Amino acid sequence: MTDESAGRAPLPATATTVVVGAGYAGLTAAVDLHDDGVDVVVLEAADRVGGRVLSERLDHVSGLVIDHGGQWVGPTQTRLLAAAQRFGVSTFPTYNTGDHLELWTDGVCRPFRNAGPADGPGVAAYEAATEQIDALAATIDPDHPGATASIADWDSQTVQTYLDREVSDGDARTRLALAVQGVWTVEPRDISLFHFLFYVASAGGFDQLMETEGCAQERRFDAGAQAIPQAMAAYLGDRVHTDAAVHRITVLDDGGVLVDTARGQVRARRVVVAAAPGAAVRIQFTPPLPQARNRWMERSPMGDVAKIHTVYDTPFWRSVGLSGEATVYGDHSVGVVFDNSPEDGRLGVLVSFVYADRQQRWARLPDAQRRADVLATLTALFGDQAGAPLHYTEKNWPDDPWAHGGYAANPAPGVWLEHAETGWRTACGPLHWAGTETSPVWNGYIDGAIASGRRAAAEILAALR
């Protein structure tokens, strides 16, 4: 959602701190600084706040709010829950009653709960593998990833290599591949075993990433997940400037920083760069950033994901005992489906996720074929009714001009080992780094973004004292 009422005021010539990026990370940093009395200005490239969180109100569909980006909150995501409480945004449980469906590679559709159908191919081996993954991840202290005993070994091999070697059951490997696609929005070949395990550790275990009840997908926001950054921006008032893309950041000899946008220049004592790595790396830094930080950002590409919402006059799947959640293997583009209906169930909403290799193929199709492709999968899962939605809408994150993808940036193999020490999030003089990718907790999630904003604000408060 965009807010027409604010954002285009002239930029101030100076501010104690400039925050680059008005996603959860940047706005959290700005709120913390503002709370502590620090003069702060937020510069956002897009015409809205929220970053990779984007809610849309469909006025022609009963005012339904859908979330094109990050949308869930889990019980251990205490920072996000606290932000929701502070800014008055209520939550409700993700619909999680009835059977999930699994459409397997052979076209067989099986109901399930938990990790997979009891009679599903490779489920037992999959569960054994996730136990091993949790055991390996438990050796990582997410606050000190570089100190992990096996980091050199684990960051030198892809997850695909690990799966090929350790998981002999091909069906279990297929399941784990969808888990990687669904959580990291990449293929197992694209990330290292270390990044995979770090991410698991930062979330508190594999199930936390995968499950709904008690886990990352437990609850949703009545007003959409963007309501919180919008409320943060309202709290900050005219300190938040949209349509203000930063293209150059210059650290002066006197320690001050010049931040350049097409709408003018702001001079600051400290800067928080809270844009995603793939956006931040496109800023021209003078003098050039330290090699470790530059390489960290250059080598952390965003994942590939699209979210497709289909709206129906009722959540009709519920009446036949289905939860609306589904996992899809084989030739389908859709990988995962969730019930994304409003809490009162006045409408039925399914959200379909398309990831990684499948996203790349799907995104190249013409509009009508993309839609037909998604609806064919939904029909295979939920029957003909699913193929005739009242409303169909897509958000293809790799096309987003500022985020360049989603959900998060994933360091390539070797990057953690080579650059964790100083490249991950260490301040470079007056330049501080935020964004969920810099978080040791819930890395890649909204909660991690908030944690990173709090840390960056604390760094600056300490520096200004």
Q: Is 44 annotated as a binding residue?
A: yes
Q: How far is the CB of 458 from its own copies (least distance, A)?
A: 26
Angle (CA) 75-80-84 rounded to 5° is: 105
- Which residue, 302 or 349, has its beta carbon nearer to its own copies? 302
Between strands 246-251 and 284-286, the pairing is: parallel
- Which residue, 157 or 385, has its beta carbon nearer to its own copies? 157
Q: Rounded CA gap, 306 and 221, in Å?
A: 20
Q: Which of 160, 384, 409, 136 is nearest to 298 (CA)?
A: 409
3-state secondary structure of 176: helix
Q: Is 118 annotated as a binding residue?
A: no
Q: How far is the CB of 372 from its own copies (least distance, A)?
A: 20
- Which residue, 82 or 147, has its beta carbon nearer to its own copies? 147
- Which residue, 97 or 286, has its beta carbon nearer to its own copies? 286
Q: How far is the CB of 44 from its own copies (least distance, A)?
A: 16
3-state secondary structure of 55: strand
Q: How far is the CB of 358 from its own copies (least distance, A)?
A: 11
**348 φ, ψ to 5°?**
-105, 130
- Which residue, 15 or 180, has its beta carbon nearer to its own copies? 180
Q: How far is the CB of 420 from its own copies (least distance, A)?
A: 12
Q: How far is the CB of 268 from its own copies (least distance, A)?
A: 22
Residue partners of 416: CB distance under 8 A and separation at least 6: 145, 146, 151, 155, 192, 194, 195, 198, 424
Q: Which of 350, 282, 286, 287 is nearest to 313 (CA)?
A: 350
Q: Rounded CA gap, 298 and 295, in Å?
A: 5
Q: Which residues bind its own copies (CB under 8 A)?
A: 155-158, 160-161, 186-190, 192, 247, 278, 281-282, 284, 288, 291-292, 294-295, 298-299, 301-302, 304, 357, 360, 363, 398-399, 401, 404, 412-414, 417-419
Give how far Cα 58 sits from Cα of 51, 170, 315, 350, 395, Å. 20, 43, 17, 15, 14
Q: Is 179 annotated as a binding residue?
A: no
- Which residue, 73 or 283, has its beta carbon nearer to its own copies? 283
Q: Rounded CA gap, 56 and 309, in Å?
A: 11
Q: Is 437 annotated as a binding residue?
A: yes
Q: Is 124 annotated as a binding residue?
A: no
Residue ranges for the known binding site for substrate are 353
Residue ranges for the known binding site are 44-45, 246, 353, 437
Residue ranges for the known binding site for FAD are 44-45, 246, 437
